[in-house]
Amino acid sequence: MSAARGGRRPAQAAPGAQQAHRGAGEVRIIGGLWKRTRLPVAQRPGLRPTPDRVRETLFNWLGQDLTGWRCLDAFAGTGALGLEAASRGAEAVLLVEQDAALAAQLQTLQQRLQAGAVRVQRGDGIAALRQAAPGSLHLVLLDPPFGGADLFAPALRAAAQAVAVDGFVYLEAPAAWDEAALAECGLQPYRHLKAGAVHAHLLRARMA
């Protein structure tokens, strides 16, 4: 659910545009400490929040209590996925977002929620995964902009290195990834859901 990445940057907002964007929409945290908390959805290129139904299913798959988990949301966007994990008890959640305005919005949310377990980092989500210690994460959240097809495989490979052997990688994509393609990235399928144009995958590290 990240904004678009790479060489092209969103156009400079006109004066007063930030106020106009405030009404662009919102999503809500579904469960845990911050249940029903509203998260703003700005009008940014490529920003596509994970649908409520998909988030609810994902955290049913994972279990409702993530106490002690270390998580990285590599394309954070609105922060809905990473903040949902923190709301359910995750010990440490890193929200990585390339877009400066969205990163600032995430920082404001972190402060408003007094979310001590959450850290916001502006930058490249794939680079952040590559910098994580191997096997150090219980949950990696990958929701790249659907227009950035070149992001998916590198993100999956980096996630496969960073996730613990008993951890999970969540991938949201415009098409289903089959077992052979996932195997090339070091992962294997665990759960899959199609909801409209969204394919939600829960993956595990591939066993040798």
Quote the pLDDT of residue 208: 63
Round to whole Å and give the CA distance between 175 and 159.
Answer: 19
Task: Please report whether residue 136 resides in a domain.
Answer: yes
Q: Residue 9 falls within a domain, yes or no?
A: no
What pLDDT was estimated at residue 53?
Answer: 86
Q: How far is residue 58's CA from residue 45's CA, in Å, rounded to a whole number?
A: 25
Helical H segments across the chain, by residue range: 17-21, 52-62, 80-87, 100-113, 125-131, 152-162, 179-184
pLDDT on residue 20 = 30
Flag whether 7 is in a domain.
Answer: no
Query: pTM value?
Result: 0.85
Domain that holds residue 135: 17-205
Q: How many domains does the chain have?
A: 1
**120 CB contacts (<8 Å, ≥6 apart)?**
76, 95, 97, 103, 106, 107, 110
pLDDT value of residue 204:
97
* Inside any domain, residue 76: yes
Q: Record the tokens describing residue 113, joined without a space.
A: 């929620």
Which pLDDT belongs to residue 47? 62
pLDDT of residue 139: 98
pLDDT of residue 46: 59
What is the reported pLDDT for 18? 33
Domain contains 5:
no
Locate 103 and state its tokens: 């990163």
Q: Is residue 162 part of a domain?
A: yes
What's the confidence (pLDDT) of residue 51?
Answer: 78
Q: Per the structure block, which two tokens stand in for 136?
A: 């150090």
Please tell me the distance from the alpha carbon of residue 74 to that of residue 52, in angstroms, as a whole number.
Answer: 19
Q: Nearest to residue 74, comparing CAs of 184, 169, 196?
A: 169
Q: What is the pLDDT of residue 166?
A: 96
CATH code of 125's domain: 3.40.50.150
pLDDT tens-place values along the chain, 208 residues long: 544 333 333 333 333 333 333 334 888 899 999 999 988 776 665 566 787 889 999 999 999 899 999 999 999 999 999 999 999 999 999 999 999 999 999 999 999 999 999 999 999 999 999 999 999 999 999 999 877 779 999 999 999 999 999 999 999 999 999 999 999 999 999 999 999 889 999 999 998 6
Give me the pLDDT at residue 120, please: 98
